Structure 1
Amino acid sequence: MTSPGRTERLVLPGVLTAGQAAETVAGIAAVQRADGAIPWFRGHHLDPWDHVEAAMALDAAGEHARAEAAYRWLAVHQLPDGSWYAAYADGDAARPTDRSRESNFCAYAAVGVWHHYLSTRDESFAERMWPVVARAIGWVLALQQPGGQIGWKREPDGTVVPDALLTGSASIYQSLRCALALAEHRGEPQPDWELAAGWLGHAVRQHPERFLDKSRYSMDWYYPVLGGALRGAAAEERIAAGWDRFVVPGLGVRCVVPNPWVTGGESAELALALWALGDTGRAVDILQWIQHLRADGGLYWTGYVFEDDAVWPREQTAWTAGSLLLAVAALGGDKPTATVFDGESLPRGLEPRCC
């Protein structure tokens, strides 16, 4: 098990002790395969976004070698065009279970790579991963639409799905800014990325009509804040407008309304978004509430159906635990985690002046 001494930064009263944090980190590590892949749980599939989320949590806990192994898996299994498949059978790249390729899944590698570099200051890692990030971002931006939003995915036959998801595009906005930070660090100017980030951020902030209507989902509510596109009064107003609709006091955050189902991942992500706005009190409250999802062994159940008093589904996902650890790390002042989520120190791109 991970030593509690390595997880002191993940202590948060009412949420995690050092020992509990170590247990959670060890739970994620136990899911990781020898090749570095981190599936949802053993026997289930891996998707690139959640794989990176779990790797970031390992870095926040000081498990840098394990995190690097996760990024090495991405580098080895990146497709020639810069993308990754949407799902792999328990991390087995020889057996993709979903051959579509989703834009936000592929972009998120940039967030993880920049987070790992900030955690380790390993220049050789940055050099090795720069081509991986550059190819991934190039593939993603080929899906950008005239309004700035990013098309959802390519189908297995390569057909573009131009419809855009607000959650996905908000996540890609964060990814683009991390990619730009890496580019600046390496002295590799990317003016096209700057323009793309500016247009994308503008679309997320000002043009909800450019995205598919997924307003029933809590992620569409808070992701413009979590991804950094919204800050200040506009972000606070957005959070306030959806609070009573999505938040179940004492239990967590609904995944989708009106379903009586709270989920750990969405709850931890909302806590991280609240932290980014300086609302640490409510962020801590939410993280305390979802401790009812903590399972023996330190991982967390994905969700809870409160009308039936039932854990559902009966799965403990590495990414749920990872999102909680990242929220705790940010609240605890972990600088790399704060940097990629606070939105203050990342490049903003070039904002459009019209439209």
Structure 2
Amino acid sequence: MTVPGRGVTLALDGVLTADETARTAARIAALQRPDGAIPWFRGHHLDPWDHVEAAMALDAAGHHTSARAAYEWLARHQLPDGSWYAAYDDGDADRPTDRSRETNFCAYVAVGVLHHHLATGDDGFRRAMWPVVTAAVDFVLALQHPDGPIGWKRENDGTPVTDALLTGCASIHQALRCALRLADLADDPRPDWELATGRLAHAVRCHPERFLDKSRYSMDWYYPVLGGVLRGDAARARLAERWDEFVVPGLGVRCVLPNPWVTGGESAELALALWAAGDSARSTEILAAIGHLRAEDGLYWTGYVYADDAVWPQERTSWTAGSVLLAVAALNGDPATTAVFGGDTLPDGLPPRCCVPADTSDA
């Protein structure tokens, strides 16, 4: 096994020093349970998506052993149908608090596994996790509609919730592209995944009417860019379209309209989307703007109600800090992070025969 070095120092002028990013990574690692689980914070719950995001941040900061433990937790506790429950009390696998299984939560393991493999060069890990990824992807794609979108979740009794969420599906698109790259590395072709990825990308790009209307949420605005569906001019045009609605200069990004509430996670994710769209300058500005959310211990407050000059809620989550570190890592050129969020080396899937003249992407 060849293990690359940490690659680049995580630091960004005007945003974080190397010592500050190291402190943040150490605080995320301190929230991890001995069994590898990373809850939002100790005493709160773990969800699989945010668990993976925190693990990726640990890898970006060089905490590879801790990150691997997080993925091994997922491998040990994957359900027979390839899924995970939506929430576990304090990350305790024996105490699920939400027994539904959300598709975007389950798909995201593919992004994390590829990221860890690229960060470490650990082929043994990749091979061991490949069955976990395949089972998770097959669970997710069982809920895909013929016209592309993927249903939100299965209830505990197995009933599918067929309503599709644009943000979740854009995230699944990123995960499917990572899964296809892992399939290439495993020499295990998955043509059905290629077709599914193409159908999903087309739906996100061209058919917003196929998704629930969540346009009040900033995630629905930027996630088609963050999830790799839109790039180049198309990505920049989408981000420009609602910039003034969601971005509060000097404070960050609103989570939901019309609430006067900026949140660290959405702000850092927008920074990643801006970076992916080729706008590193504004990406850095957004990260600098949320410096007011950084706590003394190196973690980040979830949000700030600027109309009341109040931090709310009173919590500092592993995933908010993780999203900041991942955005800084992308801006630093960290190879694993730029690969999974930039997508230049990820397969695109096969587009469907639908709206062909309109279904173009600007690389």
1:69 partnered with 2:69: yes
Aligned residue number for residue 58 of structure 1: 58
Q: Counterparts of 1:122-137 in structure 2 under 5 Å?
A: 122-137=122-137
Contact 2:6/2:60 (<8 A) preserved: no
1:221 partnered with 2:224: no
Aligned residue number for residue 309 of structure 1: 309
Q: Counterparts of 1:183-332 in structure 2 under 5 Å?
A: 183-332=183-332
Report the Cα distance in structure 2 between the residues aligned to 1:279 and 1:107, rounded to whole angstroms: 28
Report the Cα distance in structure 2 between the residues aligned to 1:280 and 1:18, rounded to whole angstroms: 19
Q: Deviations over 1:262-305 (max 9, x none)?
A: 00000000000000011000000000000100001100000000
Task: Compute the displacement of 1:203 (Å).
Answer: 0.3
Report the Cα distance in structure 2 between the residues aligned to 1:151 and 1:230, rounded to whole angstroms: 21
Q: Equivalent residue of 1:156, what SS?
A: coil
TM-score normalised by length of structure 1: 0.98
Task: Compute the displacement of 1:237 (Å).
Answer: 1.1
**Change in 2 beyond 3 A, CA 1:62/1:332:** same
Contact 2:8/2:333 (<8 A) preserved: no
Contact 2:8/2:334 (<8 A) preserved: no
Q: Deviations over 1:58-83 (max 9, x none)?
A: 00001100000000000000001100
Aligned residue number for residue 31 of structure 1: 31
Task: Compute the displacement of 1:157 (Å).
Answer: 1.2
Contact 1:48/1:86 (<8 A) preserved: yes
Task: Compute the displacement of 1:255 (Å).
Answer: 0.2
Contact 2:7/2:335 (<8 A) preserved: no
Q: Deviations over 1:160-206 (max 9, x none)?
A: 00000000000000000000000001100000000000000000000
Q: Counterparts of 1:101-116 in structure 2 under 5 Å?
A: 101-116=101-116
What is the one-letter code of the residue matched to 1:67? A
Q: Deviations over 1:7-60 (max 9, x none)?
A: 962110111111111110011011000000000000000000000000000000
Q: Equivalent residue of 1:14, what SS?
A: coil
Task: Compute the displacement of 1:131 (Å).
Answer: 0.1
Aligned residue number for residue 44 of structure 2: 44
Report the Cα distance in structure 1 between the residues aligned to 2:181 and 2:50, rounded to whole angstroms: 22
Aligned residue number for residue 354 of structure 1: 354
Aligned residue number for residue 358 of structure 2: none
Aligned residue number for residue 15 of structure 2: 15
After TM superposition, the runs of 4+ consecutive aligned structure 1 residues lying more than 4 A away are: 5-8
Aligned residue number for residue 145 of structure 1: 145
Q: Equivalent residue of 1:83, what SS?
A: coil
Report the Cα distance in structure 1 between the residues aligned to 2:11 and 2:322, rounded to whole angstroms: 15
1:154 partnered with 2:154: yes
What is the one-letter code of the residue matched to 2:347? P
1:84 partnered with 2:88: no
Report the Cα distance in structure 2 between the residues aligned to 1:275 and 1:236, rounded to whole angstroms: 10
Contact 2:15/2:291 (<8 A) preserved: yes
Report the Cα distance in structure 1 between the residues aligned to 2:330 and 2:259, rounded to whole angstroms: 30
Task: Compute the displacement of 1:6 (Å).
Answer: 6.4
Report the Cα distance in structure 1 between the residues aligned to 2:189 and 2:49, rounded to whole angstroms: 26
Report the Cα distance in structure 2 between the residues aligned to 1:18 and 1:327, rounded to whole angstroms: 14
Task: Compute the displacement of 1:344 (Å).
Answer: 1.5
Task: Compute the displacement of 1:353 (Å).
Answer: 2.6
Structure 1 residue ranges without an equivalent (≥5): none
Report the Cα distance in structure 2 between the residues aligned to 1:344 and 1:204, rounded to whole angstroms: 19
Identity over aligned pairs, percent: 74
**Superposition RMSD on alpha carbons, in Å?**
1.1
TM-score normalised by length of structure 2: 0.95
Q: Equivalent residue of 1:10, what SS?
A: coil
